[in-house]
């Protein structure tokens, strides 16, 4: 179990995290979300021991995680951290990077392990390619494979799919998070992408103004957003004076109602149109299967 006990951290006299506490069970997947500058990346670095805490303590099981004042070398064998900047060896191959820290005493087992990991991150065809010749997204996948090569007990991921093309991102998420669950590897992900969270996280921690604003399951936070910040993470929403926070899909076009609006714009979204309308001076968004003429008077229902 990871235990974070009342930690605080400041950078250049500016408080980044203030009295943060939470715990994470073995094998649990937790996502950390928040606006830019909310402390997501800083929190991961503190968990890794890259910085010294101003206050509080962090434990993995019974071992305290201490910063560089106490450790000449940052990091622990049981924990791996994948940052947004990849720490790879550019002049050797993908396979050699992934297997860099695996034992050479059992070469057949080592090669089988590398093959398995390259399948997880979908880089089998690039096994012999030198890392310097890879795209940013491919390098990110090499970094992920190398991080899980020795099956850490806990994995810390900072925006792990930020450089990866959309057509690869979906299957990579499924492969990676399925693998981590199968191996019972605890995972913490700092992300701005709801698709990293909704299907794959057991819990979601929301950081705001140096504090934990919310800590709960993605389903609970999605269905009952406490405020606009949480709702905005999940998609288009409305904050109506009379009804509070409503997602765009919760409003629909009807023949008659008390909610009368004027259509302003239709945005094509593939399987539907996102319609922007004026509701008594308030801008609202709702989903509709077809484009609607600008200026048309309509009625909405919840």
What does the DSSP assignment read for 129-192? SBGGGS-HHHHHHHHHHHHTTT--SEEEEESTTTTS-HHHHHHHHHHHHHHHHHTT-EEEEE-S
Residue 8 vs residues 43, 55, 99: alpha-carbon distances, Å: 10, 5, 37
> Are residues 173 and 213 part of one domain?
yes
Tell me what pLDDT residue 63 has. 92
Q: Which domain holds residue 17?
A: 2-228
Q: Which tens digit of pLDDT belongs to each residue from 126-155?
A: 999 999 998 888 898 999 999 998 899 999
CATH code (residue 290): 2.40.50.140
Question: What is the DSSP code (8-state) at residue 103?
Answer: -
pLDDT band per the 50, 70, 90 thresholds, residue 267: very high
Cβ–Cβ under 8 Å, residues 144 and 121: yes
> Are residues 218 and 190 part of one domain?
yes
Cβ–Cβ under 8 Å, residues 155 and 27: no
> Are residues 244 and 118 part of one domain?
no
> Are residues 122 and 72 part of one domain?
yes
Cβ–Cβ under 8 Å, residues 100 and 91: no
> Are residues 20 and 98 part of one domain?
yes
Q: Quote the tokens at residue 4.
A: 């974070």
Tell me what pLDDT residue 188 has. 96
Show the CA angle centred on residue 49, arms to residues 148 and 85, nearest 5°: 55
> Are residues 134 and 102 part of one domain?
yes
Residue 225 vs residues 37, 228, 240, 264, 300: alpha-carbon distances, Å: 21, 7, 14, 27, 22
> Are residues 149 and 264 part of one domain?
no
Q: Give the up-direction half-sphere exposure of residue 254: CA atoms within 13 A in the CB hemisphere.
A: 11
> Are residues 202 and 260 part of one domain?
no
> Are residues 135 and 178 part of one domain?
yes
CATH code (residue 209): 3.40.50.300
Q: Which tens digit of pLDDT belongs to each residue from 45-90?
A: 999 999 999 999 999 998 999 988 888 788 788 999 998 777 788 8
pTM: 0.88
- Residue at a domain's end among 197, 228, 259: 228
Cβ–Cβ under 8 Å, residues 240 and 271: no
> Are residues 194 and 92 part of one domain?
yes
Q: Which tens digit of pLDDT belongs to each residue from 201-247?
A: 999 999 999 999 999 999 999 999 989 999 999 999 999 887 889 99
In the chain, how many domains are there? Answer: 2
């Amino acid at each position: 179990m990871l235990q974070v006990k009342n930690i605080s951290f400041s950078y250049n006299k500016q408080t980044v995290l203030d009295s943060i506490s939470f715990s994470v069970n073995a094998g649990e997947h937790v996502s950390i979300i928040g606006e830019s500058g909310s402390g997501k990346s800083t929190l991961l670095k503190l968990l890794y021991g890259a910085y010294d805490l101003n206050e509080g303590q962090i434990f993995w099981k019974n071992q305290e995680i201490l910063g560089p004042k106490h450790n000449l070398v940052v990091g622990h064998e049981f924990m791996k951290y994948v940052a947004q900047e990849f720490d790879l060896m550019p002049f050797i191959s993908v396979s050699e990077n992934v297997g860099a820290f695996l034992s050479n005493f059992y070469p057949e087992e080592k090669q089988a392990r590398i093959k398995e990991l390259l399948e997880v991150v979908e880089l089998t065809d690039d096994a012999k390619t030198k890392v310097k010749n890879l795209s940013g997204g491919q390098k990110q996948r090499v970094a992920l494979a190398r991080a899980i090569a020795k099956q850490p007990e806990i994995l810390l991921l900072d925006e792990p799919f930020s450089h990866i093309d959309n057509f690869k991102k979906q299957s990579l998420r499924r492969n990676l998070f399925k693998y981590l669950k199968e191996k019972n590897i605890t995972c913490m992900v700092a992300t701005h992408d709801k698709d990293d969270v909704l299907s794959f996280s057991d819990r979601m921690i929301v950081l705001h103004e140096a504090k934990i604003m919310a800590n709960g399951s993605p389903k609970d936070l999605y269905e009952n957003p406490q405020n606009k910040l949480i709702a905005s993470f999940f998609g288009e929403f409305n904050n109506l004076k009379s009804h509070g926070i409503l997602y765009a899909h919760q409003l629909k076009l009807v023949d008659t109602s008390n909610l009368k609006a004027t259509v302003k714009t239709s945005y094509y979204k593939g399987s539907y149109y996102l319609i922007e309308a004026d509701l008594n001076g308030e801008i609202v968004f709702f989903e509709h299967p077809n484009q609607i003429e600008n200026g048309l008077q309509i009625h909405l229902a919840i």
